[in-house]
Amino acid sequence: MSVRRVVVLGSTGSIGVNTLDVLARHPQRFEVLALTANTQIDRLFEQCRQYMPAYAVVPDVQSAKKLAEQLHGVAASTEVLVGKEGLEHVATHARADIVVAAIVGAAGLLPALAAVRSGKRVLLANKEPLVMCGHLFLDAAQHSGAELLPVDSEHNAIFQCLPAGFRAGDSVPAIRRILLTCSGGPFRTTAASELVRVTPEQAVAHPNWVMGRKISVDSATLMNKGLELIEACWLFGVKPEKVEVVIHPQSVIHSLVEYADGSVLAQLGNPDMRTPIAHALGFPERIEAGVASLDLFTIGRLDFSPPDTERFPCLGLAQVAAERGGTAPAILNAANEVAVQSFLDRKIGFTDIPRVIEHGLACVAVHEAVTLEVVLGDDAAARAAAQSWVDAQRPVMTQRAT
């Protein structure tokens, strides 16, 4: 068995930490080549000390100096790289076999695209590359021969339910619909009148999954499911009308695929991200993930219901963007990133998040996503439009606080 060298982009986040946990269970199978982080430099240092990667990437010179000092005499063989150039260097490294794309948000687009263009096996954990420029991303994979494997629990579940030999972007004519499950988030049963008082602390407390703050807020607004809907369209070659979101609070069925003959295939498991990570790392083999067996007797029941897009309008906004196509999903994503960060910074309220996104979609013209430059241009315009809406609310938020 040959050892496969792994680059983890975003190693200090929840996906990165779970990836390293799986890798540590298979030292004869995998070797950590590079780790990267944005703000959690101390955690990156601990990871470097444990896994001894050849490279560590941080965002700026100051962070690089700090990490290099920490590593001196402990993991001196680890070379510290900086910024976008460092990320691209490790993502395209000749010795890299697998690249785990787990950088949250639009910041993960360029290094993930670089890895695809280099023909790597890319474990796609962040949605933004496909949401922002799915056509360009899949074209790059087809040209380079890169292998795209989804790590999101829902998309990985769908992938497991598809015919053998399926590759990302293929169309499967026999698919009648994809059922994309959704926990409903922490406010699934909260009255609409109470949502205006939701705090960041409440929004990041997901009932089933341990995730980063941004993704947890997206789950609370159901925007996470909207982004996943767009991603599913690209990954599995289907139109938006063939993807149906289903609220499933137990998070045991991770998604389902219905075929033309009426058969419905589902993937079940405990809500533990190590399952889809291990599946993608070992594919087509199955490897140990450290996940407990599913106890159906303890679960007892599985519930399903349709989403409430009136209480959670972000999902409806994502569906509209998916149907419009072009750069509309990139505009949606950019405005959402600004809105979520503004909410976490207490500059706007929870129910303001969809208003910011609506403003961004209304203010920025949608173009055909023909080049990366066009996509990034509309991304920047949407961020500016969203920020202008947030800035206009500051006096209102000040009055609320007093």
| In-domain check, residue 98 | yes
- Predicted confidence at residue 185, as pLDDT, reads 87
**Is the pLDDT confidence value at 400 over 60?**
no
Where does a domain end: 128, 151, 174? 151
pTM for the structure as a whole:
0.92
Where does a domain end: 151, 184, 203? 151
| In-domain check, residue 293 | no
| In-domain check, residue 263 | no
In this predicted model, what pLDDT tens digit does every residue of 239-273 receive, in sequence order? Answer: 999 999 999 999 999 999 999 999 999 999 999 99
- Element at 45 (helix H, strand E): helix 41-51
In this predicted model, what pLDDT tens digit does every residue of 141-154 receive, in sequence order? Answer: 999 999 999 999 99
| In-domain check, residue 226 | no
The rounded mean pLDDT for the chain is 93
Percent of the chain with pLDDT over 90: 89
For residue 122, give Cα distances in angstroms to 98, 172, 174, 213, 338: 6, 22, 27, 24, 27
| In-domain check, residue 147 | yes
In this predicted model, what pLDDT tens digit does every residue of 272-319 receive, in sequence order? Answer: 999 999 999 999 999 999 999 999 999 999 999 999 999 999 999 999
Cβ-based neighbour number of residue 8 at 10 Å: 31
Percent of the chain with pLDDT over 70: 96
In this predicted model, what pLDDT tens digit does every residue of 72-104 receive, in sequence order? Answer: 888 778 999 999 999 999 999 999 999 999 998
Contact yes or no for 232/238 (Cβ under 8 A) = yes
pLDDT (average), residues 38-47: 94
In this predicted model, what pLDDT tens digit does every residue of 51-67 receive, in sequence order? Answer: 999 999 999 999 999 99
In degrees, to the nearest 5, what angle opens at C-alpha 56 toward C-alphas 52 and 60? 155
In this predicted model, what pLDDT tens digit does every residue of 176-222 receive, in sequence order? Answer: 999 999 999 889 989 989 999 999 999 988 666 666 788 889 999 99
- In the chain, the amino acid numbered 226 is G
- The pLDDT confidence band at residue 399, using thresholds 50, 70 and 90, is very low
| In-domain check, residue 369 | yes
**Is the pLDDT confidence value at 166 over 50?**
yes
| In-domain check, residue 251 | no
232-235 LR contacts (CB < 8 Å, sep 24+): 232/154, 232/155, 232/158, 232/178, 232/180, 233/134, 233/322, 234/130, 234/134, 234/135, 234/137, 234/138, 234/168, 234/169, 235/130, 235/148, 235/150, 235/155, 235/158, 235/159, 235/168, 235/169
CATH code of residue 59: 3.40.50.720
- Predicted confidence at residue 402, as pLDDT, reads 44
Token code pair at residue 134? 């799915």
Where does a domain end: 106, 122, 151? 151
Cβ-based neighbour number of residue 302 at 10 Å: 14
Count how many domains the chain has. 2
| Helices of type H across 283-371 | 296-299, 313-324, 328-344, 353-363
| In-domain check, residue 208 | no
- Predicted confidence at residue 76, as pLDDT, reads 76
Give the number of C-alpha atoms closer than 13 A to the C-alpha of residue 376, restricted to the C-beta side: 9
Give the structural domain span for 336.
325-402
CATH code of residue 375: 1.10.1740.10
